Amino acid sequence: MSKDTRVETYSRGLIEDPSRWKDWMGGMWAFYLHRFTGLVLSFYLVMHLFVLSTGYWMGHETYTEVMQAIAAPKVIHVMELGLFAAFVFHALNGTRIVLFDMMRGLEIQEQLFYLSVALSFAIVVASAPFFLLG
Amino acid sequence: MWLLQRVTGVGLIFLLGFHFAVQHFIVGATNVTAANTVDRITYGLIEGDHVIPVTIDMSAVMYQASALLLLAFSVFHGMYGVHNIVVEQNPGEKIERLSRYFFTVLSVVLLIQGVLIFYAFFAP
Amino acid sequence: MATTQTESEADAATEVGSVELEVFRYVPEEDDEPRFESYTVDAEEGTTVLDALIEIRDTEDASLTVRHSCRMARCGSDALYINGKQRLACNTLVKEVGEPVKVEPLPRFDVIRDLVVDMEGFYDRMEAVEPWFQPSHEPETGEEFLQSPENRKNIDTVLDCIWCGACTSSCSPAGTDDRFKGPAALAKAYRFYKDEREGEEARKNRLRLLEDAHGIYRCHTQFNCTEVCPKGISPTEAIMEMSRDATKQKLAFWRR
């Protein structure tokens, strides 16, 4: 950060260092979860469109085969539930952020974060059967 | 851009929520075939053999609009979001510009790909 | 401070007992690696972390370097990272943070020696938002240029900023992005942004100064700055209001 070269300085590193996770406050967790789920969803979007494009490039039969093959293993269903969880949290925390942009709820930001986590959890648990049994 | 990120974000809550509902609650991930994808894209969401029975028909135009809007919104929101993470590392003008080009091109590729997929299953 | 207290005062103060402190020690010219040194001091009900550090320096290790001045949370010299949070050492009681008290210099600032960090970059950021009064017009000769009490109310909290750097040290975007001015500077910008004596043109200029790709929109509403501010300022709120106004201004421009 410094331009001063009179003294040697030592860079302290970042408080984002995972070893400091105990010190993170609510808003910090919200930020990192939002960023992480955002990256997951963006990556999924790219892969999703790539996989679906078999329907254009290789014809409908291949598409059906690919879709059935992907949906077959149980582990995929768990991952899909994870993706859904990422979406739900990103959506709820996104709503929280939009509220801040409109100057609402700034004083109860930490409670709002816990609320969005709790709501996400409830929604994910409630919809788990659709993913795991369907 | 900042405002667009908010607007698409709010839009995506509904669009992506609807998308999840259709694919996982109504159709079911294991039941996706080319045939029923064609049906949905061409004729909309209609009553039929689903995991959850659909009681209200959704018009074809509405379904098509939701699909294409979902494509546009998610590509913008996702790519702009990742680009922002790059900018925030303050990597310097050059990498910032490269990142902007990269994600613009990637967005266009994804949009074209999405429209092609839509076209592949659109058979009136 | 225990050593300077009179008998009666010492009697009145409740004894907390000995408290253990782990203090970050590092002399860049001599040491290869920083280390933590353990000290034990006698603490009372009202002993602050700064009191304890001064006690250590006076009685145990005179080489311990810590920056402090007013000792009453007005000067902003002694912002430190105490038990995982940016706090003013003079404004933090030893008994309120729990043992051992882990004292480190401000994260994201370069260490000059022990607990003293280089504030130069922070001051550069403060200066970048033009933190000086830019009135739209001069009042009549000899007249004092008064601000209306209603207008003054808007900036009651942000005016309390003591430039201690705690918020900027806690802010992730400010840490990764040197060009992001950070919460302290943006709250300072807000202080002038809300001052009606500056006039419409200056307001617009101030927003223009802040709203580039590395400006106000980099705020991720982590609220770390708001949580750590020893003066109870909410820079997040100030930033949100300015980014909202900047967006409105842009939309109004398009409509024209």
Q: Which fold has domain C7-117?
A: Ubiquitin-like (UB roll) (3.10.20)
Give chain C as a DSSP string: -GGG--HHHHHHSPEEEEEEEEEEE--TTT-SS-EEEEEEEEEETT-BHHHHHHHHHHHT-TT-----SSSSSSS---EEEETTEEEEGGGSBHHHH-SSEEEEPPTTSEEEETTEE--HHHHHHHHHT--S---SSPPSTT---PPPHHHHHHTTTGGG-----HHHHH-HHHHH-TTS-HHHHHHHHHHHHT-GGGHHHHHHHHHHHH-STTSGGG-----HHHHH-TT---HHHHHHHHHHHHHHHHHHHHH-
Q: Determine which of A100, A101, A112 to mutate to test the interface with C (most C C-beta atoms within 10 Å).
A: A100
Residue C229's pLDDT is 93
Interface membership of A47 toward B (CB under 8 Å): no
pLDDT in tens, C213-255: 788 888 888 888 999 999 999 999 999 999 888 888 888 776 6
**Interface probe, candidates A15, A101, A110, A111, chain C, greatest C C-beta count within 10 A:** A15
Specify whether the CB–CB gap between A71 and B32 falls below 8 A.
Answer: yes
Residue C252 touches chain B, beta carbons under 8 Å: no
Buried b (16+ CB within 10 A) or exposed e, C148-164: eeeeeebbebbebbbbb
Q: Chains A, C: CB contacts under 8 A, how many?
A: 101
Segment C127-147 shows an average pLDDT of 82
**Substitution target from A37, A57, A60 for chain B, most B beta carbons within 10 A:** A60
Asked if the C-beta of C178 comes within 8 angstroms of chain B's C-beta atoms, the answer is yes
Chain C, nearest residue to A25 by Cα = C224
Q: How far from chain centre, in Å, is Cα C149?
A: 26
pLDDT in tens, C150-197: 888 888 888 899 999 999 998 888 888 888 889 999 999 999 888 888
Tell whether C222 lies on the interface with B, counting CB pairs under 8 A.
no
pLDDT digits (tens, 9 = 90+) for A14-38: 555 655 666 777 778 888 889 999 9
Residue indicated by tokens 């925390």: A93
Please tell me if residue B104 touches chain C, with a CB cutoff of 8 Å. no
Q: Chain C window 127-166: which residues touch A at a Cβ cutoff of 8 Å? A: none
The residue extents of the domains of chain C are 7-117, 120-255
| Whole-number Å distance between alpha carbons of A15 and C113 | 19
Looking at CA atoms only, how far is residue B28 from chain C in angstroms? 36
- Is A99 touching C (CB cutoff 8 A)? no
Task: Give domain C120-255's CATH number out of 3.20.20.70, 3.30.56.10, 1.10.1060.10, 1.20.900.10.
Answer: 1.10.1060.10
C209: confidence class by pLDDT, cuts 50, 70, 90: confident
Identify the structural domains of chain A with CATH numbers, from first to last. 25-133 (1.20.1300.10)
Domain that holds residue B64: 2-120
